[in-house]
Structure 1
Amino acid sequence: MRTIALATGVLLATSLLAGCGSGDDAEPHEDSSSAASGGSTDTTKGAEAGECATSLTATYPDGTEAVLDTTAQAAELGDGTAYTFYVGDYEIPDEGIGVDTVLPPEGSRLAVVFLTAFNATSPLEEIAPGTTVEVTDELDVLTFSTILYAGGTAAQSATDATGELTVVAVDDSSICVELDYDDAEKSLSGRISAPIHDSPY
């Protein structure tokens, strides 16, 4: 990623928090419009968001492999045009959802995934089921990036980053995504199922 994209991602990581839970009772969006710039949409993939289970396998720079599946949370940005996901191996508090800093306690691990368009200047479409995006260093294009935390240590390099993320399902209260990501120092793959919480950003 370009430096400006990474800087934007880090800023979001330290300003957003989403809460845990599930949205089994909500109906999925019927939005069949095209995805935001840089993404594609296939609404036939839109299963119930509540049917998705969180399980992310993260490989850290030191070679440690961890399964993150205890808590998943999502902050909705721009009326559903972007999301920030948090997945930990610990219970992430609900207080300050979408506003406060999210950092894991010592001995715990956290993955942060940003689904957004960095330095967006064009209007973005609401993200719909079936939206698929790839990692890119282009600005004003829907993409995603990741940060892995082990306690207070952050792995946030995006050197040689590649990957793809698909929105499996999204409804009024929850979202499910599937991703496969790899860069020069870390990797992340699996599914995230998280409740959606509004953010003022």
Structure 2
Amino acid sequence: MGKVRVANFTVSIDGFSSGLDQRMDEPFGDNSEGLHAWYESAMEERDSGRGGPGADQLRRFHDRAGATIMGRNMFSPHRGPWADESWTGWWGDNPPYHHDTFVLTHHDRPSVTMEGGTTFHFTSEPIDVVLDRAKAAAGDQDIIIGGGASTVRQYLLAGLIDELDLGVSPILIGQGERLLTDDVAAALREFRVVKSYPIGNATFYNLSRS
């Protein structure tokens, strides 16, 4: 059976994964500029063919991934009931997941199948039930807990995550969606840091449950 892991999740020095007022022109909210600057460095490294920790990190996101779970805030800038069902994510017609992707939301809607094999399933079921569905879809491959902070926090506090790749970018956001709350810090005591490595301007930490 595959692992349940968080891959490529990035926070600011003060522990936020997004700022206030996430919106169409600022998907990660206020004061979040530079949060994912490491990603551009990793893309350049991968596309150049020279390899390195950035290219390895991007590959790690997809290695053995058979299903993804994400929160509504990661899928969409819209809140509350769906005004319509035309929004199908930030990623265009061919999202990067290429497998069943479960979107946690209080407002269910029919599943949407995209190009490249991605199917978004919208569900208000409990997180453990959604994880069981994702495991069934993934078979012997891994399940990625994609974010945002609330989704990762729920699965961490429930003891359902096996591995966590956490990137820390050298910015301060101040307010917004925070991953590194006191209860999460306590939950992370069950993990050990396997390795740390720089990618661009961020430092990544690979954590595994002890």
TM over 0.5: same fold?
no
- For the pair shown, the structure with the greater C-alpha radius of gyration is 2
**TM range, normalised to the smaller chain?**
under 0.3
Task: Please identify which structure carries the higher helix content.
Answer: 2
